Amino acid sequence: MEKRLEELLAGVVACNSVNPAWEGGPGEADVCRHISDVLSMAGLNPQIHEVKPGRTNVVCTVSGTGEAPSLLLNAHVDVVGVEGMYDPFTLRREGDRLYGRGAYDMKGSVAVMLGLGEALAAEPPPGDVHLTFVCDEEDLSIGMEHLMGDWLSSLDEPPSAAIILEPTEEQIGICHKGFAWYEIEIEGKAAHGSRPEEGVDAITPLGALISEITSIGEELSAAEPNPLLGHSSLHVGMVKGGTNLPVIAAESRIDWERRILPGETDEQLDAEFERIVSSARSAGGEAIVEAKKQFSRPPMETPESADIVRRIKQVTQDSELAGMSYWADSALAAEAGIPAVLFGPIGHGAHAIDEWVSVSSLERVYKAILAVIFGMGSAPN
């Protein structure tokens, strides 16, 4: 099976699916057509769903032979930019390692799902299996939003569980943090640097604002950590302001990110936001301070007792339950009411120039998920 997984991975890596948010990439249309072709050649009936112009998902339901619970498998097909990489869309093997953009994050898992599709076409599963390939995870997750919206509402009943095949080093990811992005824009009044009294400095309030962000970060670090995820956090991501040294700055802006633990409330986040905004307004004097939340995604947490967790643990005796440091589309599945876990291969270099995935790990993940699929007709141990 290793050889077939390598062939499947080579095919999807060859499709340039750099997210348009990264270096103005072409998006996912090409790789989705390729995925659809592979599944069609296996005798399945994939469907390409256009999420936005040029942005597509692929969904392929393999009908079960009985009444076993249905299962959703999911991978994203977009990748990040390729600056600094040599021949990023040609898969290269060195021993157990397969190199190429997306090999680890997460086209290796796409290859696993294509291999599973071929296996299930030859031997149908006991319950329905939904193979889902989505766009845009590396930016705003519009593909998963569409899947959990329009597609999910078209089903007679939702899947009983979801396995998101993000690379987890073959650990069973039962939780991950959420995040929120915030911004503050400060409007002052420009003046000559020798006459500061004629202006309103838009940069000075940033000192108080950053100090407040630092204080909140220290409080979060002192709180009780999540046993699998550690502490929540926040950090300044971007700072902009000023036009020239001899000019009192008329404008400034700061953007920050908050990483959110399961169980943290909107009320807590709103209170922190108000503290930060108030610090800027208090220090800003006559400056105008405008603040808002740009974007947010929820955290995810699936109980250890969940049926899907027990099923994966049953077929992967060496895998441990873990929290993932990154955010993933699994949170949107969980938010839609589908118990979700993350389970994927060993590798290295997500978003890096030396990205690789272990081909032997791909085979182990393939075999484990296949065992879960065919075990859905019976109760887990």
CATH number of the domain that residue 235 is part of: 3.30.70.360
Would you say residue 214 lies in a domain?
yes
**Per-residue model confidence as pLDDT tens digits over 202-234:** 999 999 999 999 999 999 999 999 999 999 999
For position 102, what pLDDT does the model report? 98
Last residue of a domain, one of 245, 280, 297: 297
Question: Is 270 found in the same domain as 284?
Answer: yes
Last residue of a domain, one of 297, 321, 338: 297
Question: Is 353 found in the same domain as 223?
Answer: no
Last residue of a domain, one of 282, 297, 312: 297
Name the stretches of the chain with pLDDT < 70: none
Q: For the whole model, what pTM was predicted?
A: 0.94
Question: Is 334 found in the same domain as 212?
Answer: no
For position 381, what pLDDT does the model report? 72
- C-alpha 220 chain-centroid distance: 23
Question: Is 103 found in the same domain as 7?
Answer: yes
Would you say residue 192 lies in a domain?
yes
Inter-CA distances, 142 with 46, 256, 293, 378, Å = 20, 22, 18, 35
Question: Is 204 found in the same domain as 97?
Answer: no
Residue at token pair 């936001």: 273
What domain range is 168 assigned to? 2-175+300-375
Would you say residue 106 lies in a domain?
yes
Question: Is 351 found in the same domain as 371?
Answer: yes
Question: Is 328 found in the same domain as 231?
Answer: no
| Contact between 171 and 320 (Cβ < 8 Å) | yes
Question: Is 212 found in the same domain as 139?
Answer: no
For position 38, what pLDDT does the model report? 98
CATH of the domain at 352: 3.40.630.10
How many independent structural domains does the chain possess? Answer: 2
Question: Is 194 found in the same domain as 278?
Answer: yes
Question: Is 171 found in the same domain as 34?
Answer: yes
For position 317, what pLDDT does the model report? 84
Question: Is 168 found in the same domain as 23?
Answer: yes
Would you say residue 381 lies in a domain?
no
Question: Is 309 found in the same domain as 200?
Answer: no
Would you say residue 77 lies in a domain?
yes
DSSP H stretches of helix in the chain: 2-13, 29-41, 108-122, 142-146, 152-153, 204-222, 266-284, 307-315, 330-335, 359-375
Would you say residue 380 lies in a domain?
no
